[in-house]
Amino acid sequence: MAAFSPDPQQTYLYIGSSTSYRKIYIFRRSDLTLLGSFDTVAGHHEMAVDSKGNIYTTDGRSRKPMRYLFKEMRSAGPVARRKGQHGHTSPEHKRDSWCRARLPGRAGCARPDRMPPIPKDKMTAEQQKVVAERGNLVGPWVPLSRSPEVLGLMMDMRRHVANRSLLSPALTEIPILISAREWTQHFEWNAHEAIATKAGLKAEIINAIKEGRRPRQMTSRRKASTTCAWSFSVRRA
């Protein structure tokens, strides 16, 4: 994959690595000097640059659109170790909020809800009973309301895992947040960010996960929970 910067001279060349699947390299086009690089969150397919210098790719697994915002031009030391090479200027990009931007109006991005909430007057007696017992259904519970028996079993299992885990609430929330971040699951993230905060996770840890970074300065148990979740969710180990 390759793309050029939007200036008339097309000063910079962006190359998606074929060996390091997550990395995009920035070259000066005139002499192909490597100026820098940055990591994508979950790999990338295709690449385009808009008139403002923002880079667009598609997620390597889910094929969701991803956007990396052009932040500023910065001075930095040379990346390639070449004799006589001095400092240079290169574009700096930052990950957009959630990294994979939802693009209103783009075909295929906004899709109709295939299983919307069932109006109360159209519910069966069993569906009305489970709603009365379980309360207002949101998120993933809405599609499951089509099968009240399965919904009840799934909610019981969820309650068992949440309330009878051998892990502390903080250790439980770390892999949940990592999975939500990896799959850009907004509902899950919004539901558990506050829970994680209440469980004692610092804002620095939560923000690092949100930005696709490995959190630092954690206890040994939290590091182990993070490593395990990262291996399964990000690297599919």
- Other Cβ atoms closer than 10 A to 150: 11
Round to whole Å and give the CA distance between 171 and 49: 39
Pick the CATH number of 2-95 from 1.50.10, 3.30.450, 3.10.350, 2.40.10: 2.40.10
Specify the pTM.
0.49
pLDDT at 235 over 80: no
pLDDT at 88 over 50: no
- What is the pLDDT at residue 39? 74
Choice between 157 and 96, residue whose per-residue pLDDT is larger? 157
Torsion angle of the four alpha carbons 216, 166, 194, 110, in this order, in degrees rounded to the nearest 10: 90
- The domain locations on the chain are 2-95, 122-233
- Percent of the chain past pLDDT 90, that is, above it, reads 5
Tell how far CA 76 is from the center of its chain.
28
pLDDT tens figures, 19-37: 555 678 888 889 988 888 8
Choice between 73 and 187, residue whose per-residue pLDDT is larger? 187
